[in-house]
A and B are shown apart, each in its own frame.
Chain A
Amino acid sequence: KNEVEQSPQNLTAQEGEFITINCSYSVGISALHWLQQHPGGGIVSLFMLSSGKKKHGRLIATINIQEKHSSLHITASHPRDSAVYICAVIRGSQGNLIFGKGTKLSVKP
């Protein structure tokens, strides 16, 4: 069983829809990242969370440490949000990341 599980693997939405991507993990962590990867490969860190909730523009990330679960929400989705979204947890004091396998999001106009 993977230590970090994401769902769904693939998601297709219409422009304007509210989107939720889920991440569950089975290891003790110090923090969790949500990452975005566009075609072509580069990865950008969207959020780092250790508790509660963070918001940046149309993106909201939440984490429940007791339940070992995090969600990434996108409000009023847009075709430019189409990307792979990756959940990663920080293991160990030296900061190694364990990654989920990603959720491929496609937003249709």
Chain B
Amino acid sequence: DVKVTQSSRYLVKRTGEKVFLECVQDMDHENMFWYRQDPGLGLRLIYFSYDVKMKEKGDIPEGYSVSREKKERFSLILESASTNQTSMYLCASSRLTYGYTFGSGTRLTVV
């Protein structure tokens, strides 16, 4: 069964901490995406990557960075976590415009 796996379902971090959210896919997909989902705002794109070591900013990249050193892994980094980054984070992958598969999400709370 094809999968996108996010390393944590729930995470609690302190303000100012550096936070890593990991996402791994086993489908050899070129594209990988990080979204955050907030009530009333829906899903918003933070960053995406269409190839190893390539990254593009999405709609809300401020306060985040990403890393894609291997095709299967796409990491989202919160350099200095803040309370307004408390959210649900969803990773997805696709083969170009097909085969979208989402992870189960990581609910991050910054205290």
| Contact segment of B11-19, B36-44, B64-72 | B36-44
| Interface size range on A against B | 20 to 34
Most chain A beta-carbon neighbours within 10 Å: one of B9, B42, B58, B105: B42
| Interface size range on B against A | 20 to 34
Q: How many residue-residue contacts, CB under 8 A, span A and B?
A: 62
New A-B contacts (8) at CB < 8 Å, excluding given A93-B96, A94-B96: A33-B100, A43-B90, A43-B92, A45-B101, A48-B98, A95-B94, A100-B42, A101-B41
On A, residues with C-beta under 8 Å from B are 30-31, 33, 35, 40-45, 48, 86, 88, 90, 93-97, 99-102
On B, residues with C-beta under 8 Å from A are 9, 31, 33, 37, 40-45, 48, 50, 56, 58, 88, 90, 92, 94, 96-98, 100-105, 107
